[in-house]
């Protein structure tokens, strides 16, 4: 799975960097066919159009690193919904609700050539209620003649409609300027207080036992009634005291309220998962231990790693494990979880409560690694020893030298190595492996980026 392999590369580094810096989140919402995907591609400067996806093909990735005028932000793309007439209104509203919840600002796209529909009005009500900044995009204004259509959208009461042609690029500069004005400098979800309650997301594919585990862990404890000073939380979050400390379980509404299995539910689930991960510091990925691991399981794990969050893997339904399955499970762990060998695993049964008390200690271990900072002195001493013991191979008569390294950020730990030439991917993996062996980092992704000094 190249999602996990990305971690080694520059792109993975950039993603982790974005996560660490708590970039503001912009969600693009609107009815199907208004041009959201076209606009997202335009903003990302992608040539390869996702628009070519056939209706019904759902995409699993929903957030992308984006940039305009030197400002970086995270773009959440809610396009890719199945165009299916039945029940579409309800789903657009659901989609909007999730997207609004996770975003710092919303880009609401309307097809100016069609005008507003009841669904649009419904979304406007949600937007008003949420009170988040909104930029209104009047799309498909391909030429001056369409400006009047855009003007009509003032009636939505969302302020100035920006006439845009996502297809041709017309007006997108002004639109993005307005977006930058609407976005806060850093994500509100990203403002993590070191002393506040830690934020946990319970994620995993449907039916793995998220709601059962939530009830077992949270339901058993008294829900903390008093507000912890200085913490803001959404009503969908649950604040509880576990082992004498407050914890916030984020986005629990989606877990408690059973999501109906409509077509497009996969994408919906993926979006909700992404939202929960973005809001959390640590994610517990639940996996059903009694059945074979699926691609969906590894995809959720990749989402956590890519978002740069701490990770705990919980093997649930352990009460259903029979001895015949044990050897298969071991093999699956070796094969499917090789990229995240560093993640603590706990075997639990949400039904019986068996070993659920091991969850909090695992969360604490992962978070501690996520917060870890290695001093520059220690880091360079470590690298000096590493290079002396195992120098970079000579390639075409050249051997890149490592000049200096520093840890640029925590949450998750991100390292920058200055060199005289590109490092082999294999050598980078070697450095990562040695970093983990030396400093631990159990439960956190780490990233290493290389800057070449000519």
List, as residue ranges, the binding site. 30-37, 77-81, 139-142, 204-211, 251-255, 316-319
Nearer to ligand GDP, 4 or 350 (CB): 350
Nearer to ligand GDP, 316 or 369 (CB): 316
Is residue 172 near ligand GDP by the rule CB under 6 A? no
**Contact, 443 vs 365, CB < 8 A?**
yes
> Residue 429 CB, nearest distance to ligand GDP (Å)?
34
Is residue 250 near ligand GDP by the rule CB under 6 A? no
**Contact, 36 vs 77, CB < 8 A?**
yes
Given candidates 6, 7, 36, 187, which one binds ligand GDP under the rule CB under 6 A?
A: 36
Is residue 200 near ligand GDP by the rule CB under 6 A? no
> Residue 318 CB, nearest distance to ligand GDP (Å)?
7
Is residue 98 near ligand GDP by the rule CB under 6 A? no
Alpha helix stretches (DSSP H) within 21-83: 36-44
Cβ atoms within 10 Å of 18's Cβ, excluding its own: 23
Number of helical H runs and strand E runs in the chain: 16, 15
* CA 317 – CA 390 distance, rounded (Å): 44
How many residues contact ligand GDP, by CB under 6 A?
32
Parallel, antiparallel, or unpaired: how do β-strands 63-68 and 414-419 relate? unpaired
Given candidates 13, 24, 32, 344, which one binds ligand GDP under the rule CB under 6 A?
A: 32
- Ramachandran quadrant class, 358 (left: phi over 0; alpha: psi -120 to 50; beta: rest): alpha
* CA 392 – CA 76 distance, rounded (Å): 39
Which of these segments, 129-137, 165-173, 184-192, 296-304, binds ligand GDP (CB under 6 A)? 165-173
> Residue 339 CB, nearest distance to ligand GDP (Å)?
23
Parallel, antiparallel, or unpaired: how do β-strands 25-29 and 282-288 relate? unpaired
Given candidates 58, 63, 74, 165, which one binds ligand GDP under the rule CB under 6 A?
A: 165
Four-CA torsion 35, 25, 296, 352, nearest 10 degrees: -140
Cβ atoms within 10 Å of 138's Cβ, excluding its own: 30
Question: Rule CB under 6 A: which of 348-367 touch ligand GDP?
Answer: 349-351
Given candidates 12, 13, 24, 79, which one binds ligand GDP under the rule CB under 6 A?
A: 79
Which of these segments, 10-18, 210-218, 391-399, 404-412, binds ligand GDP (CB under 6 A)? 210-218
CB neighbours of 291 closer than 8 A, spacing ≥ 6? none
> Residue 96 CB, nearest distance to ligand GDP (Å)?
12
**Contact, 444 vs 413, CB < 8 A?**
yes
Is residue 37 near ligand GDP by the rule CB under 6 A? yes
Which of these segments, 62-70, 191-199, 201-209, 429-437, binds ligand GDP (CB under 6 A)? 201-209
At 338, list the tokens. 């090789």
Which of these segments, 31-39, 93-101, 237-245, 393-401, binds ligand GDP (CB under 6 A)? 31-39
Which of these segments, 9-17, 35-43, 91-99, 182-190, binds ligand GDP (CB under 6 A)? 35-43
Q: What is the DSSP letter of 275?
A: H
Which of these segments, 7-15, 30-38, 237-245, 266-274, binds ligand GDP (CB under 6 A)? 30-38
**Torsions phi, psi of 233, nearest 5?**
-150, 150
* CA 32 – CA 35 distance, rounded (Å): 8
Quote helix, strand, coil % in the chain, to nearest 5. Answer: 40, 20, 40
> Residue 281 CB, nearest distance to ligand GDP (Å)?
21
Nearer to ligand GDP, 115 or 393 (CB): 115
Burial of 194 (0-12, 13-18, 19+ CB in 10 A): exposed
Is residue 161 near ligand GDP by the rule CB under 6 A? no
Annotated binding site for GTP: 30-37, 77-81, 139-142, 204-211, 251-255, 316-319
At 453, list the tokens. 């000094």
- The residue to which tokens 């773009």 are assigned: 75
User: Strand locations in 50-197, DSSP E?
Assistant: 63-68, 71-77, 105-111, 134-139, 161-163
Which of these segments, 118-126, 205-213, 276-284, 295-303, binds ligand GDP (CB under 6 A)? 205-213
Question: Rule CB under 6 A: which of 100-159 touch ligand GDP?
Answer: 139-140, 142
Question: Rule CB under 6 A: which of 42-71 touch ligand GDP?
Answer: 51
> Residue 286 CB, nearest distance to ligand GDP (Å)?
6
At 319, list the tokens. 């009460």
Site string for ligand GDP, 257-296 (x = CB under 6 A): ----------------------------------------
CB neighbours of 120 closer than 8 A, spacing ≥ 6? 30, 31, 110, 156
| Residues near ligand GDP (CB under 6 A) | 30, 32-38, 51, 79, 139-140, 142, 165-167, 204, 206-212, 255, 316-317, 319-320, 349-351
């Amino acid at each position: 799975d190249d999602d996990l392999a990305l971690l080694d590369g520059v792109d993975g580094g950039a993603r982790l960097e974005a996560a660490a810096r708590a970039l503001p989140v912009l969600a693009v919402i609107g009815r199907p066919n208004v041009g959201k995907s076209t606009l997202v591609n335009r903003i990302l400067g992608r040539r390869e159009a996702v628009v070519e996806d056939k209706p019904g093909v759902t995409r699993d990735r929903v957030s992308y690193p984006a940039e305009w005028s030197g400002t970086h932000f995270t773009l959440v793309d809610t396009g890719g919904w199945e165009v299916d007439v039945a029940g579409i209104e309800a789903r657009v509203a659901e989609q909007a609700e999730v997207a609004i919840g996770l975003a710092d600002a919303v880009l609401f796209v309307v097809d100016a050539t069609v005008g507003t529909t009841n669904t649009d009005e419904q979304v406007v009500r949600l937007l008003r209620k949420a009170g988040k900044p909104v930029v209104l995009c009047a799309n498909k204004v391909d030429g001056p003649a369409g400006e009047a259509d855009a003007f009509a959208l003032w009636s939505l009461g969302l302020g100035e409609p920006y006439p845009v042609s996502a297809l041709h690029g017309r007006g997108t500069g002004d639109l993005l300027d307005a977006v930058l004005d609407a976005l806060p400098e850093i994500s509100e979800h990203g403002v993590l207080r070191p002393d506040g309650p830690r934020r946990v997301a319970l994620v995993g594919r449907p039916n793995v036992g998220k709601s059962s585990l939530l009830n077992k862990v949270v339901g058993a404890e008294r829900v903390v009634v008093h507000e912890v000073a200085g913490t803001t939380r959404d009503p969908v979050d649950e604040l509880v005291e576990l082992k004498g400390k407050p914890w916030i379980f984020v986005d629990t509404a989606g877990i408690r309220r059973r999501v109906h299995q409509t077509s497009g539910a996969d994408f919906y689930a993926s979006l909700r998962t992404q939202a929960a991960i973005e809001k959390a510091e640590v994610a517990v990925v639940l996996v059903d231990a009694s059945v074979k691991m699926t691609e969906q399981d590894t995809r959720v794990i990749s989402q956590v790693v890519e978002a740069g969050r701490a990770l705990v893997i919980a093997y649930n339904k352990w009460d259903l494990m029979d001895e015949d399955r044990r050897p298969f499970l071991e093999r699956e762990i070796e094969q499917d979880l090789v990229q995240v060998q560093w993640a603590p695993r706990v075997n639990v049964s949400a039904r019986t409560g068996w070993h659920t008390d091991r969850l909090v200690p695992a969360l604490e271990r992962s978070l501690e690694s996520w917060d870890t900072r290695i001093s520059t002195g220690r880091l360079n001493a470590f690298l000096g020893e590493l290079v002396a013991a195992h120098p970079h191979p000579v390639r075409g008569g050249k051997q890149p030298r490592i000049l200096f390294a520093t840890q640029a950020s925590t949450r998750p730990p991100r390292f920058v190595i200055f060199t005289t030439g590109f490092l082999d991917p294999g050598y980078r993996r070697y450095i990562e492996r040695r970093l983990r062996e030396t400093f631990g980092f159990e439960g956190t992704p780490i990233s290493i980026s290389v800057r070449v000094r000519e």
